[in-house]
Structure 1
Amino acid sequence: MNSVEDLCGVIGSKITWGRGEDPQQLTADTPLLEMGLLDSLAIMEIISALANEHGVELPDTEVVAANFRTPKALWAVIEGLSAGAAK
């Protein structure tokens, strides 16, 4: 995963859109929680996809609502983890 746009794709693939609701294109600033797009299952599926498909292990301490408010917020966590691993 190389960008917040890639992350938007991962998140978008884990969202269950409502009946009769057209799937939307997510942007870095999409308010995921405010719009009700994520529930606890979707968050766990995102965490699993990040680990299994992209090798990004999200520590339990980072699984908090603030980090899932927008794709950009989660991307900042991922970048921080990558920077920490590079040290």
Structure 2
Amino acid sequence: MNSVEDLCALIGSKITRGRGEDPQQLTADTPLLEMGLLDSLAIMEIVTALDAGPGIALPDTEIVAANFRTPKALWAVIQSLPERAAQ
């Protein structure tokens, strides 16, 4: 995961998979919660995909609604993780 655009693609694939829709075209500022695109299951699928794919483990303390408001907000959390800061 190298950019917020990569994160947008991952989020888009998770929020449409269960609905059988085409992946959403998200931008960094898409209001995910306000638009009703995320629910608790989608958030956990995103967290799991981040861990399984690029190996980004979000601490439980970071899995809060404020960090999932937009892809940009989640990207800021990812960038602030100690293991990411060292890269």
Q: What is the TM-score of this pair, normalised by structure 1?
A: 0.88
Determine which structure has greater relative contact order: mean sequence separation of CA pairs < 8 Å that are 6+ residues apart, divided by chain length.
Answer: 1
Q: 1:55 and 1:22, CA in 2 relative to 1: closer, same or farther beyond 3 A?
A: closer
- Paired with 2:14 and 2:79, the residues of 1 have a C-alpha distance of 21
User: Is the CA contact 1:11–1:46 (under 8 Å) kept in the aligned structure 2?
Assistant: yes
In the TM superposition, 1:24-39 aligns within 5 A as 24-39=24-39
User: Is the CA contact 2:16–2:22 (under 8 Å) kept in the aligned structure 1?
Assistant: no
Partner of 2:56: 56
How many Å apart are 1:23 and its aligned residue? 4.6
Amino acid at match of 2:75: W
User: Is the CA contact 2:7–2:71 (under 8 Å) kept in the aligned structure 1?
Assistant: yes
Q: What is the TM-score of this pair, normalised by structure 2?
A: 0.88
User: Is the CA contact 2:62–2:77 (under 8 Å) kept in the aligned structure 1?
Assistant: yes
User: How much is the aligned-residue C-alpha RMSD, in angstroms?
Assistant: 2.2
User: Is the CA contact 2:13–2:23 (under 8 Å) kept in the aligned structure 1?
Assistant: no
Structure 2: gaps spanning 5 or more residues: none
Structure 1: gaps spanning 5 or more residues: none
